[in-house]
Structure 1
């Protein structure tokens, strides 16, 4: 998830582009850059690191001109570096592009261009676009972009300019957000409204498959195929702070609602076109290496550890390899049995978690291969691991993790299936069946989010209590642990999660009249047993919210006080759905108590000390 801006008008473009990028830096902060038409022609300044680095460079050597594009990067293809920073240009330096998204077939396109004699200076998919547009150019930048886009597969929001036509900017949207701002004698391109709100409140919101051609005095809207279209102007009446959160009250709520996109992005390009297999070209593990692994250790902290607990079941069920899970802060101190046949999977949203890094290094010292699942390209974990799967959740601002956690689940599903198809522990039809269900998850999450008000009412009631419990069996227990952590870290309500079958071994002593119990019961083979556990707590006065699968409503209503039904999916996939109402429950409980949802007390987003 990157941020792009563009400007054409009569004012100096550099300060407008930089101000826009500041408002978009939450979308990525690995690098930043701008391209501007100057008296000397098209000039580009870009640098790795935060936007401040770019501002420092431009303060010494400003780019003067009234047309330009800019970019702040969340790295996907290629590590954070000056060369991989946007904007990108072709060899002639006459065409420049900024891009948000992923071009799935960029390697295929790059190979064709290399055979034609093109030379590339970066590892990115975006540089391919600039070369492709240059090849297609025949005097009309709009048609060149249309032809280039016709050869691309994936997700992209583009801003394109060429020195040959300095009076036009071209913008394209396909599966990545893009808006056009309308000013008097000036026009704007941006990934999100905050970038241009200081200059205009009138915008066009592009839909997938649409493009815009901007001049100082007009905006032409059309489809990628070249058919002209008309759109209503959207007038923004939000204040700037609200706009940065896309209209949501808090970043956490925004990130909960971004999960369908995070699921799609993390799966995009990793499932074959026929939907029957997983493709993970980023892995260096050969089939021989995978076949030689006989045990797995999953190591992580906090929410990432809870993703690892789900990952344990995923790998064991799909690949039939035994898995141990460890809290990273304890891993080194128990002298784990690590051999060259051990795969250690470290999970970290930031890729900078100190305990997880220490565990990674200890595992490698003992001869194990390390696979990292992280959200940040170029992080310490990503650099030091032998293999990396990047979760494409985009930057997560709220301290309480939501979309990063669920994207980690998607990564585990993909890796588990990849391993299973390599070992033959699942047939091709079984893999295809699971992948089909996975690709339905984003739409199913959207269905859950549409029922948020149902959760809000229960959360407001829960907020009146100082203690509560989560229970579940199997994968439901793993999700219960995450639900409990979410609630206590942002609402400060004391909560504990227990395996439902353990109630009779001590926990029932804590159940008293009126105490809330959140019961997850989405594992079909364990449904009746969990129902029996619910009756045990109900008999002692508990007030129960049941998280159930659709179809159990009538039966569950006889045993619970409230219920929330998630859409039907495969049992193995339920954690990707059942956690969403628990995230909403935590959010609304914290809100009811008047806490700072995005910045809970005593906590930080990335724990970089042991």
Structure 2
């Protein structure tokens, strides 16, 4: 959601800015722009894709050794060129901004009284005029930014440049991610490491309230109290090539097929031996796991579905009460706190605003046993949690999460086994069997991927549909929820998921020949009940698409299409069954002609409420 790139160098920074924006396209945006400092401020903005911005920059021959750039996802104000960033105040300085300024109306009123004219509908424009107001007094850009951000309420990551400071880039963050990239006699800022991989892998992650003064050779960082701060530099494990499309049509397709490797990398250390160690989740994990009496999982979207699956696993295998909650709801209700519960937060990016806010709210309620499961090592969620587990999915560019979801499930299953072991509910023989099943998991996923041609043929039948129903039972109900989410977010087909046993309590009224019903049919204790639910659908003329284990004995017939997976995979079955649902959504979207990797109105990383 929105993206920032900035650079100060001894070379033309425009190619760096444009390439950085291109690498941030996956985050979702509707307009883009950049400013360079070259004797004055030169700005170019455009609606739509970064390619349009690049063409406009070439036509206007924009260049400079200092610049900031932005991709905007509209919040305050429509996606227009006037609302696009960067915003400029009186031709003196420019600002790019991620986040939302909650007190923008009061600031706007005050700034108008000071004589500032507003040309956009955005909350961001108050920042640029407020900084200018303070900059006008003593021409000290760092001081002006520090004074301005002290008055901002809400979330922000900003980059600021001034016409009279051709080698100075000032940035600040609170509530939105921002990092500094370190080069040789050049430095950079970005909201995401992927934007900087072509120029550096050495980065500093700014902390809450930090303000940084960046030049060609020096960087000074001040903490929220205004004191000089030391922030460690990190070498990113990501490479520029990891974020390239390769031979695939879309990043989503690439990431679906990367799941065997992502799972193998995520599980590698855990399944190397014949027993599981709590230290996989942090040096204090053994102590924490031994004193908890419940588990609460907080997450949004796809990560919430992973948490729902885990709630079935943890209660069944570890015997611990577990509930999964939507993070955006948790902090706004009066909950009964249990300080002895393990509080788990799930996020691909580790910067999901609602999940971060929920974690902080839980801490105020007394929760100290915190664990984050995340795909980004230095993200805010990881830094703010006592325990952590890093999934090794690599960069996930497609907005619709795939490999991040399955690696989260793998991590949650490891956690389940460790909690069960802690409580004496996992025998040594069962532990060895589960470890062996996890070792085999990447290969089993590869086998499911081989079914793609059959799934593609099914997807052709969805091209003219407006609605779809997904059914699952037990721990496969959240997988049905995930399948429905995938279909609607990238194909724009309205889809809903229900526990199959709930058909008679309302959803059956929707079933007819024009509404495909997708069912997940593992060979578990609920199979016979599920078969009865499927007959209810057929009796009403519904068309069934069944993803079934090979040993379920569900056979194709009129109105019943069956795709057979391997034999039942026990508790790991949800991971295998989610793969064909991802492929179905992807190919249905291809049939519909939608923008698979960048679906309308959606952003990859939701960094504002």
Q: Shorter-chain-normalised TM-score: which range? A: 0.5 to 0.7
2:561: which partner in 1? 562
Instruction: Name the CA shift for 1:274/1:473 in 2 (closer, same or farther; >3 Å).
Output: same
2:451: which partner in 1? 451
1:57: which partner in 2? 185
Matches within 5 A, 1:128-277: 192=241, 244-271=244-271, 273-277=272-276
Query: RMSD over aligned Cα, in angstroms?
Result: 3.6
2:5: which partner in 1? none
TM-fit CA distance, 1:579: 0.4
1:441: which partner in 2? 441
Conserved 8 A contact 1:308-1:325:
yes
Matches within 5 A, 1:25-174: 53-54=181-182, 57-58=185-186, 73=201
Hey, what's the Cα distance between the residues in 2 that align with 1:560 and 1:426?
Answer: 43
TM-fit CA distance, 1:23: 12
Q: Tell me, which stretches of 5 or more residues in structure 1 are unaligned?
A: 1-14, 30-48, 61-68, 82-120, 127-155, 157-175, 177-189, 195-243
Hey, what's the Cα distance between the residues in 2 that align with 1:366 and 1:597?
Answer: 40
TM-fit CA distance, 1:473: 0.4
Conserved 8 A contact 1:24-1:72:
no
2:578: which partner in 1? 579
Instruction: Name the CA shift for 1:59/1:306 in 2 (closer, same or farther; >3 Å).
Output: closer
Conserved 8 A contact 1:278-1:414:
no
TM-fit CA distance, 1:479: 0.3
TM-fit CA distance, 1:288: 3.9
Conserved 8 A contact 1:283-1:387:
yes
Hey, what's the Cα distance between the residues in 1 that align with 2:583 and 2:400?
Answer: 12
Instruction: Name the CA shift for 1:24/1:462 in 2 (closer, same or farther; >3 Å).
Output: closer
Conserved 8 A contact 2:523-2:568:
no
Instruction: Name the CA shift for 1:428/1:537 in 2 (closer, same or farther; >3 Å).
Output: same
2:587: which partner in 1? 588
Matches within 5 A, 1:424-503: 424-503=424-503
* Structure 1 residue ranges, 4+ long, deviating more than 4 angstroms after superposition: 21-26, 49-52, 69-75, 121-126, 190-194
2:519: which partner in 1? 519
Hey, what's the Cα distance between the residues in 2 that align with 1:281 and 1:561?
Answer: 44
Q: Secondary structure at the match of 1:280?
A: helix
Conserved 8 A contact 1:534-1:559:
no
Higher RCO, 1 vs 2 (CA within 8 Å, ≥6 residues apart): 2
Q: Secondary structure at the match of 2:517?
A: strand
Conserved 8 A contact 1:299-1:305:
yes
Hey, what's the Cα distance between the residues in 1 that align with 2:469 and 2:323?
Answer: 26
TM-fit CA distance, 1:263: 0.3
TM-score where L is the length of structure 1: 0.62
Instruction: Name the CA shift for 1:72/1:339 in 2 (closer, same or farther; >3 Å).
Output: same
TM-fit CA distance, 1:323: 0.5
Query: Are residues 1:316 and 2:444 paired?
Result: no
Hey, what's the Cα distance between the residues in 2 that align with 1:559 and 1:318?
Answer: 39
Q: Deviations over 1:206-265 (max 9, x none)?
A: xxxxxxxxxxxxxxxxxxxxxxxxxxxxxxxxxxxxxx3110000000000000011011
Conserved 8 A contact 1:351-1:376:
yes
Query: Are residues 1:547 and 2:547 paired?
Result: yes
Hey, what's the Cα distance between the residues in 2 that align with 1:560 and 1:280?
Answer: 51
Q: Secondary structure at the match of 1:485?
A: helix
Conserved 8 A contact 2:279-2:285:
no
Hey, what's the Cα distance between the residues in 2 that align with 1:457 and 1:412?
Answer: 33
The aligned length equals: 419
Hey, what's the Cα distance between the residues in 2 that align with 1:59 and 1:387?
Answer: 32
Conserved 8 A contact 1:301-1:327:
yes
TM-fit CA distance, 1:378: 1.2
Conserved 8 A contact 1:259-1:442:
yes
1:337: which partner in 2? 336
TM-fit CA distance, 1:477: 0.8
Instruction: Name the CA shift for 1:50/1:380 in 2 (closer, same or farther; >3 Å).
Output: closer
2:349: which partner in 1? 350
TM-fit CA distance, 1:352: 0.9
TM-score where L is the length of structure 2: 0.63
2:125: which partner in 1? none
* Greater mean deviation of Cα atoms: 277-286 or 566-575: 277-286
2:384: which partner in 1? 384
